């Protein structure tokens, strides 16, 4: 398994600040990364480590950011419990934990040991569950679904998905 990016969230705030000024660290979403680690999905998931403990899976806009389809992960960060377990109440507004039933084949685990939904599943979640579907999310869906067979697979997933959200997802699909 490839080497996992280091976690800088455990450093004192003063050290992080000075290393940002020196140019050793760079901002990456809600955290920081070393300039030696190229910005990519594994590094972005490693940056989310302080919020994704307990086996949480990055979903929705947060997963779209992990895959590079959005510029920012958004606030709050979105995660789901594995196996549709009931989430605990959140003391702060930094993250929102959902209770989605996510199949193991829809989850991608990267070098950091952290997990996010696959690009296809992420696009379907954005189409189905996001309350607002503005231009950045439309672009994110297009980026997530670019690739051989992804659009067809996503459409089939929507058609076989939960009826409650199917109409919304299909209407948004037409906007793509």
In this prediction, residues 96-121 reach a mean pLDDT of: 89
Beta bridge pairs of residue 108? 116
| CA–CA separation, 46 and 27 (whole Å) | 13
Q: Identify the weakest region by mean pLDDT among 34-43, 85-94, 126-135, 159-168.
A: 85-94
pLDDT in the model for residue 164: 84
- In the block, tokens 């000075």 appear at 18
Q: 147 or 67, which is more confident? A: 67
Instruction: Find the Cα–Cα–Cα–Cα dihedral 20, 23, 28, 31, rounded to 10°.
Output: -30
Q: What is the mean pLDDT of the chain?
A: 89
pTM of the model: 0.91
What pLDDT was estimated at residue 111? 67
């Amino acid at each position: 398994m490839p080497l996992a990016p280091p976690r800088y969230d455990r450093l004192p705030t003063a050290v992080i600040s000075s290393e940002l000024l020196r140019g050793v660290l760079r901002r990456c979403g809600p955290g920081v990364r070393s300039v030696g680690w190229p910005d990519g999905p594994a590094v972005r998931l490693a940056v989310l480590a302080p919020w994704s403990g307990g086996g949480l899976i990055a979903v929705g806009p947060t997963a779209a950011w992990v895959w590079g389809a959005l510029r920012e992960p958004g606030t709050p960060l979105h995660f789901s419990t594995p196996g549709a377990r009931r989430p605990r109440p959140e003391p702060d507004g930094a993250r929102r934990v959902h209770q989605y039933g996510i199949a193991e084949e829809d989850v991608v685990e990267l070098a950091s040991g952290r997990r996010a939904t696959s690009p296809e599943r992420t696009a379907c979640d954005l189409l189905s569950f996001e309350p607002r579907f503005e231009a950045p999310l439309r672009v994110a869906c297009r980026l997530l679904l670019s690739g051989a067979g992804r659009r067809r697979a996503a459409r089939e997933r929507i058609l076989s998905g939960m009826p409650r959200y199917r109409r919304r997802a299909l209407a948004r699909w037409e906007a793509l």
